[in-house]
Chain A
């Protein structure tokens, strides 16, 4: 009666608006304010670095997928673009573009595609790229350009660490930083970590669009705050205030955009809490007592490696699960 063949498929027959490409697109939109601030603070160079990073990541993914894995193109899901932007955000604005290309090869080539591509990698690709550069080219990675209005070329965290090591009481160091200016973007650092306000704006967007839940960012920032408060209360002469720690370095960028990477974070809400707290604590341990001024990248990578274990043992709350027998 009708010539067209009917489609037969198992239920459900409708699908929600969730879509990998849409969610990745939302992440990109969320990163726009931070990019604008970076451009204002560091000038056009920051856009060039980000764009170059995106282009390199996309190219590497396309190349590996086509010639090594010999699979269909995976660029449509925009995940390589997101990795590219995040990688760019984790680099100083004056980094040589050659290094950006190397970082992209490491991030996508080694950090992602060696595991089989999207969804199978253990570590956050952008952070793999960043940490590789940090270890291999420490000078290029830690000399930041003079930001408009910032005190010096060193990041506030590096500055504070140096000062405290040199014996300057933390209280005095605290007086020299302007927390308000820091939160808006008047500080040195990687592209993306410049403006906490812009990053938080993106966070709200991600929450509204239900791309991520509040668990990981809040647990990371909360545990960092708690940890630094305890240290600060115990010894204000040696440790900086919690506000300083939350506003400086990659705290917000890491907590909101890097730690929440779907592939490398736990599947359950309880697991996310453990993971988030772990990142916060490790970050603070590195910041306060470690050799590096900033520990967010290392903390996330360390917790990434624990995720399979968390997923194995932390299970969601089950409907109708029997109550614990006494």
Chain B
């Protein structure tokens, strides 16, 4: 019995002593920090995706608290709502930005763009693109090895095995831009998010001359310029045999989609057209 009591006493005493020690050390080495940093960090989504340009949410919150002008800071994941909340808490002016979404600008599915060789190296787009043009005749398009899907922290990207191309889940995409940076071919672009998931864009990044591009891929942009002519808002420019739709000017009238001879311009989220029979090429829409 005596033993038991001694044991209990010794252990309890030791515990108390160590607790005291910990308390003192914590007191002595306490780092003085603006408490607002913690608060702001809590308001941020906590994804640590790096989409803001900082290493993580902590870095972002420090910058938000310390900088007087936070107009240049933006959390793409939390979006405007989150930024507004933080700005009002800090008494600063937040930047207004349109919500964006990642868009894969390549329609080179297995069907549209036949494979002409077989890649047999480390399964990564960076490895393949540093080695050669790719498995198809198109040296600009998606390589389909999924670096973008691997880098996405939100599970918003996945390679569709049927097409061999990545697909973006708009619900999950936060427009953090990680995939844009990861893609060695610069196929992915952040574009303005429209209601109902509507979007119109040139689903091609091939800068080869029309004939070469068309030979490699059925749905390549051949740089014919028809879309630019038909666009009432001057939103489309053709440069280096490639059309580009400026999403800040595009009003989504869909004229270019109907005009495109190869079906390189695609539309999503629109109700079916009345005259769908006229343009079988645009049947790509979902």
Contact = CB atoms under 8 A, between A and B. Distances in A.
Interface stretch (A3-11, A226-234, A296-304, A318-326): A3-11
A5 B116 CA distance: 6
B88 interface: no
Q: How large is the interface on A (under 10, 10 to 19, 20 to 34, 35 or more residues)?
A: under 10
22 contacts: A5-B116, A5-B118, A6-B117, A6-B118, A7-B117, A7-B118, A7-B120, A8-B117, A8-B118, A8-B119, A8-B120, A8-B121, A8-B131, A8-B132, A8-B135, A9-B119, A9-B120, A9-B121, A9-B131, A10-B121, A10-B122, A10-B131
A10 B121 CA distance: 6
A35 to B, nearest CB: 40
Interface residues of B, number: 12
A9 B118 CA distance: 8
Contacts of B127: 10
Interface string A5-26: 1111110000000000000000
Interface in A1-51: 5-10
Nearest to B130: A10
A7 B131 CA distance: 12
B115 interface: yes
A7 B115 CA distance: 11
Interface of B: 115-122, 127, 131-132, 135
A5 B119 CA distance: 10
Nearest to B114: A5
A6 B115 CA distance: 10
A9 B122 CA distance: 8
A69 B90 CA distance: 48
Contacts of A5: 115-118
Given A5-B115, A8-B118, A9-B119, 12 more contacts: A5-B116, A6-B117, A6-B118, A7-B117, A7-B118, A8-B131, A9-B120, A9-B121, A9-B131, A10-B121, A10-B122, A10-B131
Contacts, number: 25
B118 to A, nearest CB: 5
Contacts of A7: 117-118, 120
Contacts of B119: 8-9
Interface string A141-152: 000000000000
A10 B132 CA distance: 9
Contacts of A8: 117-121, 131-132, 135
Nearest to A4: B118
A5 B118 CA distance: 6
A8 B132 CA distance: 8
B24 to A, nearest CB: 32
A84 B10 CA distance: 47
Q: Which of B116, B118, B132, B135 has the most CB of A within 10 A?
A: B118
Contacts of B135: 8
A8 B143 CA distance: 13
Nearest to B133: A8
A32 B41 CA distance: 63
Contacts of A6: 117-118
A6 to B, nearest CB: 5
A32 B129 CA distance: 49
Contacts of A10: 121-122, 127, 131
A9 B127 CA distance: 9
Contacts of B132: 8
A208 to B, nearest CB: 33
B113 to A, nearest CB: 14
Contacts of B121: 8-10
A105 B225 CA distance: 69
Nearest to A11: B131
Contacts of A9: 119-121, 131
Interface in A153-211: none
A10 to B, nearest CB: 5
Nearest to B127: A10
A9 B120 CA distance: 5
A5 B114 CA distance: 11
A46 B127 CA distance: 51
A215 to B, nearest CB: 31
Of A5, A6, A7, A8, the most chain B CB neighbours within 10 A belong to A8
A103 to B, nearest CB: 36
5 closest A-B pairs by beta carbon, nearest first, are A9-B120, A9-B121, A10-B121, A5-B118, A6-B117
Contacts of B117: 5-8
A258 B132 CA distance: 45
A182 B85 CA distance: 81
B52 to A, nearest CB: 33
Nearest to B115: A5
A7 B128 CA distance: 12
A10 B115 CA distance: 18
Nearest to A6: B117
Nearest to B122: A10
